[in-house]
Chain A
């Protein structure tokens, strides 16, 4: 029987990996777990997170700090039961074809780690521990403030009280916390230890390729607060004619957007801290970035160029439908996988964007000025859009998007420039030159 495969060609072949998070609360564990899951899914590798806290919450929705005291037998029993339930569900999920399961809990003692390792090894699952260790008090406090406002535990509670409770909760964990291999007797574990947000990293006993790939990605992550801004280029001359691709300059209104962009960015950033600007190598994105402040560093990436439409480059949808009717239909049927003759598919774009995503993860505030299909792929990464949805997401011209990754998901804010532009969105089956996006995204 042929083994399963997926888009980027990581062959899964019976590999089942459990990423077991380790670390005190407010060290960015959930954040890391959620990022890893999103990255893997974006690359078409089945991944899911099992948050032990969520299982515990079913039992005790709003526990006080005492609950987390190791001397509290009732609390201890309930937390253990929650961990068991999470692992059981994960095993069930593996049987249904899961590849990378992430166990999101503190796993802060040697005993707990051994318990997880023994159980999963017995089930034929490879275990890799991922620890985030941080002593920087300022970072921890920033993280608590972030978590406190977004954690389901503190829904509807007074923020100050919540913060105080959280500090106490952490103290209970600190009493028993032991970092991986602190005593030198966990040398056989496969683990990744990230210290002080990546300042130092230890990688121990990586056993296969997929593990090395996950480790590689996690090494690029950081938990410093930051945002990513996305914008398409200003309206181009080809946009006006409803033609795709090409390397045209900006229309009059597109130029107006370029001139307004600095103001829009300033409003969104809220201070004059500089952003790094990434554009494609095409005229229309470079022209869109040209009025941004001089102290913004600008870089051009070939990988940010628009999806290559091959033989259809420079054509209208009507022309494509007339000249290549089969292609036009094939593309609507599976837009993610459809590759233009001599050109690219969305899947191809995702593969070439991987270095961009890596670089994006390790950078701080970045403004990306690129093209419709490329922005869709980047947006799909941050918002966990499926392959069916992502190629149809409306990304209007003359609009700035601000994405802020948080522990429990990504926040989006949009800023309209209020400069008219044509719509380049196209619904399934349509050959209209310009069409307004439908609220359902056309799927």
Chain B
């Protein structure tokens, strides 16, 4: 034991407050500071800050380690926050680590049903601290859904928990991830726990097997959920089947089940890229084809992507990973001609390209083809409103980013459902919204995100936190890179069009319209500084 477990010490180490990260780090674990700021796809707000007339809910996770619980928690939190439901995850493991201190371990009998009094005491102290935080957040910080991530292995423990939450006027929904498919278990163990120093240099399959055995000895008793009087959802074999026992479900619970039916726990990558440029005649209504430069862009983008994927695979092999074939790649475009044609070189190579009508760009309404000056002259009062709230404001006849986010919701669910790697070719406005879902950006930042045309953004999902990478497309005509002429002139306070906008990822930004640059620039793929890996590494020895 690393410490005496005094309350002060636990509080100091408690994982309650994380710093606010920037737009290039997945913000899913941030503590939002702006209470009044609405979420990307929030349909309405209420005085209490709670939505769907659902009151306060504790979603209690149930399941042994390596069942994908953390992934499920984080994904669910991502979706609920996107809808505007104030959600926070409480990982019991974080509290245990905070309590036993760095390098400390819980006693061997920590999870045993007949544990020693000292272990029971420790267990209860950790549980108490975690629950105090849950109540504190639900009662005093306007929280609505607390996700309690722990093993919760016994029926009696779960019954007691539901009773305790009910006493605090919190409804409990249990969510069990039940896996009896050996392949899924091994895959999970390999993916999440493989980098543990304990298994260093070991054959991955053997390490996975050892790890699973270790869980069994550490947590000998686990009862799958059968409690008729409790609300629960049992997710079987990573979403192949669901069983749910409904005592008093509400709309929000159903919505969660709906989301879960689209979730899977396989790891795959999403790439974002802009469409090539069209001819001069293009406008929102005209839907013009690609220009010659645009076609050249499509070819170069395709080459870059394929080269990058192959290089990534090679680097896995070089690091001693298995020589597995690349995951298949699907391509989604909007129904706009420019995006479809940008996907053509990939289509010719045999990649499957699907057109998604919901992914068409933000509707510019009356602002179509107007210069910033013209908009300022014609709609001075709209400009004023827009500057107050660029995310929710809609110009006459136009869509707001909020409208766009609501329209993209089906795409987000299908994005979760997709099992192949995925390249999304779309207008910058659409990329902004989809990126903000995967990387959890605030609505203040979304309209400002910038996707230079000479970059492919890669998003790699991880159980705890997604990470992003920028891949430079070399050899492009610099005139291609700035925002497309048909882009809606959505004005951002304090920043003139086309300049000073925020790139989602730091690093050498693409050249502005007036910059003198070398014609051909080659940059290696660049990984974004990111704590995700370390955070997972930190959780490697984690037994819940």
The interface-forming segment of B136-144, B254-262, B275-283, B435-443 is B254-262
Q: Give A48-70 as 1s and 0s: 1 = Cβ < 8 Å from B's Cβ atoms.
A: 00000000000000000000000
Contact mask for chain A residues 271-306; partner B; CB cutoff 8 A; 1 contact, 0 none:
000000000000000000000000000010111000
Interface string of A1-30 (1 = CB under 8 A from B): 011010011110100000000000000000
- List of A residues within 8 angstroms of B413 by Cβ: 209, 212
Q: Is A205 an interface residue (CB 8 A)?
A: yes
Q: Which residues of B contact A11 (CB under 8 A)?
A: 356-358, 410
Q: How far is the CB of A165 from chain B (nearest CB, A)?
A: 34
Q: How far is the CB of B49 from chain A (nearest CB, A)?
A: 13
Is residue B124 contacting chain A, with contact meaning CB distance below 8 A? no
Q: How far is the CB of A185 from chain B (nearest CB, A)?
A: 15
Task: Please determine whether A362 and B356 come into contact, CB atoms closer than 8 angstroms.
Answer: no
Q: Is residue B251 within 8 Å, beta carbon to beta carbon, of the partner chain?
A: yes
Q: Which segment of A352-360, A400-408, A421-429 sits at the interface?
A: A352-360
A199-B246 CB under 8 A given contacts A9-B358, A303-B44: yes
Which A residue sits closest to B409, measured CB to CB? A9
Output the nearest chain B residue to A219 by Cβ-Cβ distance: B254
B337-359: CB near A (< 8 Å → 1, else 0) gives 00000000000000000111110
Q: How many residues of A contact B (CB 8 A)?
A: 39
Interfacial residues of chain B within 491-514, with CB under 8 A of chain A in the complex: none
**CB under 8 Å from chain B, chain A span 347-393:** 351-352, 355, 358-359, 362
A3, B261: Cβ atoms closer than 8 Å: no
List of B residues within 8 angstroms of A203 by Cβ: 241-244, 257, 261
- Collect the chain B residues with CB atoms within 8 Å of residue A200's CB: 243-246
Given the known inter-chain contacts A202-B242, A203-B242, please indicate yes or no for A358 contacting B410, CB distance below 8 A. Answer: no
- Is there a chain A Cβ closer than 8 Å to B53's Cβ? yes
Contact residues in A for B394 (Cβ distance below 8 Å):
342
A435 to chain B, nearest CB (A): 28
The answer to whether B241 and A204 have CB atoms under 8 Å apart is yes
Task: Give chain B interface residues in 356-397, CB to chain A under 8 Å.
Answer: 356-358, 394, 396-397
Compute how far the CA of A208 lies from the CA of B419 in the bound complex, rounded to whole angstroms.
12
At the interface, yes or no: B43 with Cβ under 8 Å from chain A?
yes
A220 on the interface (CB 8 Å rule)? Answer: yes
Q: Is the CB of B410 within 8 A of A299?
A: no
Residues of A within 8 Å of B357, CB to CB, are 2-3, 5, 9, 11
**Residues of B contacting A301 with CB < 8 Å?**
44, 53
Residue of B nearest to A212 (CB): B261
Contacting residues, chain B, for A8 (C-beta < 8 A): 410
Q: Is the CB of A352 within 8 A of B43?
A: yes
* Residue of A202, A212, A301 with highest tally of chain B CB at under 10 A: A212
Q: Which listed residue (B53, B354, B397) contacts A339, Cβ 8 A? A: B397
Q: Cβ of B243: which chain A residues have Cβ within 8 Å of it?
A: 200-203
| Chain B nearest CB, measured from A142 CB (Å) | 20
Residues of B within 8 A of A226 (CB): none
Interface residue from A2, A204, A341 paired with B240 (Cβ < 8 Å)? A204
Report if A252 contacts B (CB, 8 A). no
Do B241 and A202 have beta carbons less than 8 Å apart? yes
Q: Any chain A CB within 8 A of the CB of B52?
A: yes
| Given known A199-B245, A201-B246, contact A9–B407 (CB-CB < 8 A) | yes
Given the known inter-chain contacts A341-B397, A342-B394, please indicate yes or no for A206 contacting B261, CB distance below 8 A: yes
Task: Kindly report which residue of chain B lies nearest to residue A10, judged by CB atoms.
Answer: B410
Given contacts A209-B410, A212-B413, A342-B396, whether A362 and B254 have CB atoms under 8 Å apart is: yes
The residues of B that contact A342 with a CB separation of less than 8 Å are: 394, 396
> Which B residues are in CB contact (< 8 Å) with A215?
258, 261
- A352 cross-chain contacts in B, Cβ below 8 A: 43-44
Q: Are A9 and B43 in contact (CB under 8 A)?
A: no
- Check B358 against A359 for contact (C-beta < 8 Å): no
Q: How large is the interface on B (under 10, 10 to 19, 20 to 34, 35 or more residues)?
A: 35 or more
Complex Cα distance, B261 from A205, in Å, reads 9
Q: Is B335 an interface residue (CB 8 A)?
A: yes
A303 contact set on B, CB distance < 8 A? 43-44
* A216, CB-defined interface residue at 8 Å: yes
Residues of A within 8 Å of B154, CB to CB, are: none
Residue of B nearest to A213 (CB): B258
A141 contacts partner chain B, Cβ-Cβ < 8 Å: no
CA–CA, A200 and B262, complex, Å:
20
- 1/0 contact trace for B221-255 toward A, CB 8 Å? 00000000000000000011111111101110011
Q: Which residues of B contact A198 (CB under 8 A)?
A: 246
Q: Does A248 contact B (CB under 8 A)?
A: no
Please tell me if B406 contacts chain A, counting CB pairs below 8 Å. Answer: yes
Whether A311 sits at the interface, judged by CB under 8 Å, is yes
Q: Bound complex: CA of A204 vs CA of B244, how far in Å?
A: 12
Q: Are B410 and A9 in contact (CB under 8 A)?
A: yes
Is residue B45 within 8 Å, beta carbon to beta carbon, of the partner chain?
Answer: yes
A358 to B257, CA, bound (A): 14
Interface residue ranges of B430-448 to A (CB < 8 Å)? none
Q: Is B417 an interface residue (CB 8 A)?
A: yes
Interface residues in A207-242 by Cβ distance below 8 A to B read 208-209, 212-213, 215-216, 219-220
If A200-B246, A205-B241 touch, whether A212 touches B52 (CB-CB below 8 Å) is no
CB of A365 to closest CB in B, whole Å:
16
Q: Which residue of A lies closest to B46 (CB)?
A: A302
State the Cβ distance, B484 to closest chain A Cβ, in Å.
20
A61 to chain B, nearest CB (A): 40
Does B414 count as interface, using CB distance less than 8 angstroms?
A: yes
User: Which A residues lie at the B interface, using CB under 8 A?
Assistant: 2-3, 5, 8-11, 13, 198-206, 208-209, 212-213, 215-216, 219-220, 299, 301-303, 311, 339, 341-342, 351-352, 355, 358-359, 362
16 A-B residue pairings within 8 Å (CB atoms) = A3-B335, A5-B357, A8-B410, A204-B241, A204-B242, A209-B417, A215-B261, A219-B258, A220-B254, A301-B44, A311-B396, A342-B394, A342-B396, A351-B406, A359-B53, A362-B251
- Given contacts A220-B251, A299-B53, A355-B251, could you give 16 more A-B pairs where the C-beta distance is less than 8 Å? A2-B357, A5-B335, A8-B410, A9-B407, A204-B240, A205-B240, A209-B410, A213-B258, A216-B254, A216-B261, A219-B258, A342-B396, A355-B43, A362-B249, A362-B250, A362-B254
| Closest A-B pairs by Cβ, 5 of them | A302-B44, A5-B357, A216-B258, A9-B358, A203-B242
- B→A interface (CB under 8 Å): 43-46, 52-53, 239-247, 249-251, 254-255, 257-258, 261-262, 335, 354-358, 394, 396-397, 406-407, 409-411, 413-414, 417
